[in-house]
Amino acid sequence: MRVTVSFVLLATLASLAAAVAAAPANGNGSSSGRQKSVIQLISDGFGPASETFARSFVQARDNLQWNDTLPLDKSIVGTIRTRSTDSLVTDSAASATAYSCGIKSVNAYIGVDIDQKPCGTVLEAAKQKGYNTALVTTSRSTHATPASYAAHVPDRDDENTIAEHMLGGTVLGARVDLIWGGGRRHFLPNTTSGSSRKDGRDLIGEATSAGWSYLSTRAEFDALNNGSDVQLPSLGLFTSSHMSYEIDRLAQNSTVQEPSLAQMAITALNALKKQDEPFFIMIEGARIDHAGHNNDPIGHLHDILAYQELWTAVSQWVDANDASQSSDDPEIVLLSTSDHECGGLTLALQRPEDEEAEYAWYPDVLNNSTHSTEYLAAQFYKYAEAENRTDGELRDYMVQTILPSLGQSDIDEDETARALELAKEDDDGLALTIYLASLVNWRAHLGWSTTGHSGLDVNLYLHVAPQHAQQKLAASFVGNHENTWIGSWTASWLELDLTSVTRQLNNGTLVGAAGEGSANLTTPTGRYHGGPKHVLPALPPRRRGVGYSHRENTSLRAEERSHSMASKRRAHAEL
């Protein structure tokens, strides 16, 4: 697997280098060529421990020196505090609203303030100023992070309305020129198989009638010729729900049906550059977070490595396309941060059977893993439901197909029996997903404190093309910042009028200047808005790992289980 993945990554980087070189070299809109653009990368659920985790794995896998680092390591400039107004532990909605609007808000709120009134976003304000705008993600395009830049709803789960907003269903009209990711199900009418809508609206049809170009396949993406043939506005919905974890995407080999995050990013950037106007783009590596919710080190690791590839590709694109090489003020600013940490990852584990703590963790345990545990659980249920399988057939499939994909050769009978037991008890695959992950965690000595988010600070990274400009600009990024600082800095750097956009969204009545939300903090340490609780089963006699029972929450999928709206609304009512 290591050789195959390395070959694919080399081929991908080569194609991305060609795409970077193919980008138009003209200016971006002003006669002086000096209007500023911002590329904001968000690594959802990616905390500082996850960077160390990935670095140590690569060092061990590739036999590198201890001082070899990852691409992001070279560009760290500060840290970001992540809390929301109603919890010390944020969700993606409140965090992305801080990044997009520059204000604090409530967990689950999308582009609205604590009073549920719309707040103008940096993307909307950039479009009002004449910029081109884009959102690229590996999640559903209607998921919390991208939604918070172009939608305004008090419930992140209202993805059908979010889809409408993103295509222009607010008083502002269409404000996004390019939307690429997953989530097709929220754009299809309820008469179509796979739709999640409750009405008959065909948003894809409405978009194409309004002049949007639409793509949904890898062949259509490849036909864009690295961005030179993109017709804006462009809607790309490559999957029904989220796009694949990177390790599962790569396992498709020559039949890969989805572009990588880096490929989407470079193609989108080339398309924006071609317009000869300044731009704002948000690019999200979303599935790092989803693997964290599953405590899955396999999916987590490979999506982190894909994000490192993204950073390298976009940094090179900036170097090749910023026309201000001799200036103190860069034309294009690339910044990256996370919305929060997910999973509470620790790189050591003292198991109940260990009399003393062992000062170690073992990256090589992950060397031979070939799929995310979410994928493996789904494959098991797909096999089980295909026909009336016997217990023997199910056991054989577990032993011969599922467990070997974890890359562990010493899984014993007790562990196999527990996996089958959880699979029978489980209705949605989540317990099996997390248990399979625990079999790897247990051996690698990786600990996770939660299947939700944590309250940790996250890293802030910066890259601009002129080296002297990097040093000058980095000085203002150094230190520890509130997450609202990202939105405020972006608005200031691009000279955007968030107040005007907020006024328009609220029908001409100003409901609060950007930044006022940060003055209304509470400290609800007794409340946690992470959804239903999960119960640990009894530990097995030896090295069984941690499995979760979640029978009380069978209607929610892994990445959705921490967003119980009723508890959030009750908590907000108490403020």
* DSSP, res 357: -
Query: Residue 18: what pLDDT?
Result: 54
Structural tokens at position 125: 């304000």
Query: Residue 329: what pLDDT?
Result: 84
Structural tokens at position 275: 């317009």
- 376 within 8 A of 402, measured Cβ to Cβ: yes
Percentage of the residues of the chain whose pLDDT score is greater than 70: 82
How much is the average pLDDT of 495-499?
Answer: 98
Q: For 47-76, how does the pLDDT look when each residue is reduced to its tens digit (9 = 90+)? A: 999 999 999 999 999 999 999 999 999 999
Task: Provide the CA 220 distance to its chain's centre, in angstroms.
Answer: 23
Binding site annotation covers 293? yes
Rounded to whole angstroms, how far apart are CA atoms 502 and 524? Answer: 28
pLDDT band at 17 (very low <50, low <70, confident <90, very high): low
Neighbours of 9 (CB within 10 A): 17
Q: Which residue has the higher pLDDT, 309 or 535?
A: 309
Percentage of the residues of the chain whose pLDDT score is greater than 90: 76
Query: Residue 16: what pLDDT?
Result: 58
43, 50, 92, 244: the active-site residue: 92
Has residue 410 got a pLDDT over 60?
Answer: yes
Query: Residue 107: what pLDDT?
Result: 98
The residue extents of the domains of the chain are 37-345+452-516, 348-445+526-574
Amino acid letter, 219: A
Binding site annotation covers 453? yes
155-159, 291-295, 428-432: the lowest-pLDDT one: 428-432
Domain 37-345+452-516, CATH class in plain words: alpha beta
- For residue 185, what are the CA distances in angstroms to 164, 181, 192, 401? 13, 12, 9, 30
Binding site annotation covers 340? yes
pLDDT band at 252 (very low <50, low <70, confident <90, very high): confident
Binding site annotation covers 572? no
How much is the average pLDDT of 248-252?
Answer: 92
Rounded to whole angstroms, how far apart are CA atoms 567 and 533? Answer: 12
Has residue 24 got a pLDDT over 80?
Answer: no
94-103, 153-162, 522-531: the lowest-pLDDT one: 522-531
Binding site annotation covers 284? yes
How much is the average pLDDT of 233-256?
Answer: 92
Buried b (16+ CB within 10 A) or exposed e, 224-241: bebbeebebbbbbbbbbb
Rounded to whole angstroms, how far apart are CA atoms 292 and 307? Answer: 15
Query: Residue 468: what pLDDT?
Result: 83
120-134, 170-184, 320-334: the lowest-pLDDT one: 320-334
Q: For 534-553, how does the pLDDT look when each residue is reduced to its tens digit (9 = 90+)? A: 323 333 333 333 332 222 22
Query: Residue 509: what pLDDT?
Result: 52
Q: For all residues of the chain together, what is the average pLDDT?
A: 86
Could you tell me whether strands 453-454 and 341-342 are parallel, antiparallel, or unpaired per DSSP bridges?
Answer: antiparallel
Residue written as token pair 């090589």:
364
Is 241 in the active site? no
Query: Residue 254: what pLDDT?
Result: 63
Relative orientation angle of helices 261-274 and 2-21, to the nearest 10 degrees? 0
Neighbours of 363 (CB within 10 A): 21
Binding site annotation covers 428? no
Q: For 35-46, how does the pLDDT look when each residue is reduced to its tens digit (9 = 90+)? A: 899 999 999 999
Has residue 244 got a pLDDT over 80?
Answer: yes
Query: Residue 328: what pLDDT?
Result: 77
Q: For 333-353, how does the pLDDT look when each residue is reduced to its tens digit (9 = 90+)? A: 999 999 999 999 999 999 888
Q: Which residue has the higher pLDDT, 327 or 109?
A: 109
- 123 within 8 A of 135, measured Cβ to Cβ: yes
pTM of this structure: 0.86
Could you tell me whether strands 178-182 and 132-140 are parallel, antiparallel, or unpaired per DSSP bridges?
Answer: parallel
Binding site annotation covers 563? no
Has residue 473 got a pLDDT over 90?
Answer: yes
